[in-house]
């Protein structure tokens, strides 16, 4: 075989042959290798489990935060729409702009912007 004849590999081949011949050394080596592989497997499984748990927790927190933000945004939009509707109703009743501003919290520009043009 070429490997056995290569001069730089001969010491390694001799050592491998010697270790292979020693049954007790081979058994110890195999036990160490099994323990190393088992440890690596457990570490990989623990890492995968930790990543999965972290991802699930992050998704749950993100979903909850998104719902809270969406709810708050919807409520604010509803309040704004209600203020505009109240202002429109006051305008229909012919109430003064200052009174509408006071009742709704809208600016003069907002109220005047929705006021129908006068027939003048």
> Do 4 and 10 meet the contact criterion of CB atoms below 8 Å apart?
yes
Residue 14 lies in a domain: yes
> Do 101 and 78 meet the contact criterion of CB atoms below 8 Å apart?
no
Residue 120 lies in a domain: no
* Eight-class DSSP state of 115: S
Distance CA 65, CA 71 (A): 10
Q: What is the pTM of this model?
A: 0.48
Residue 91 lies in a domain: yes
Residue 83 lies in a domain: yes
Average pLDDT over residues 29-43: 93
Q: Around Cβ 69, how many Cβ atoms within 10 Å?
A: 10
Domain that includes residue 31, residue range: 8-114
Residue 26 lies in a domain: yes
Residue 98 lies in a domain: yes
Tell me: pLDDT of 2 over 70: no
């Amino acid at each position: 075989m070429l490997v056995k004849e290569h001069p730089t590999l001969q010491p390694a081949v001799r050592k491998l042959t010697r270790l292979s011949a020693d049954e007790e050394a081979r058994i110890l080596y195999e036990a160490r290798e099994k323990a190393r592989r088992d440890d690596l497997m457990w570490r990989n499984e623990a890492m995968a489990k930790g990543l999965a748990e972290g991802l699930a927790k992050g998704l749950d927190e993100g979903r909850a935060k998104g719902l809270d933000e969406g709810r708050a945004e919807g409520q604010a939009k509803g309040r704004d729409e209600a203020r505009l509707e109240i202002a429109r109703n006051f305008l229909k009743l012919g109430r003064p702009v200052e009174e509408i501003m006071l009742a709704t919290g809208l600016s003069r520009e907002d109220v005047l912007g929705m006021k129908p043009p006068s027939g003048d």
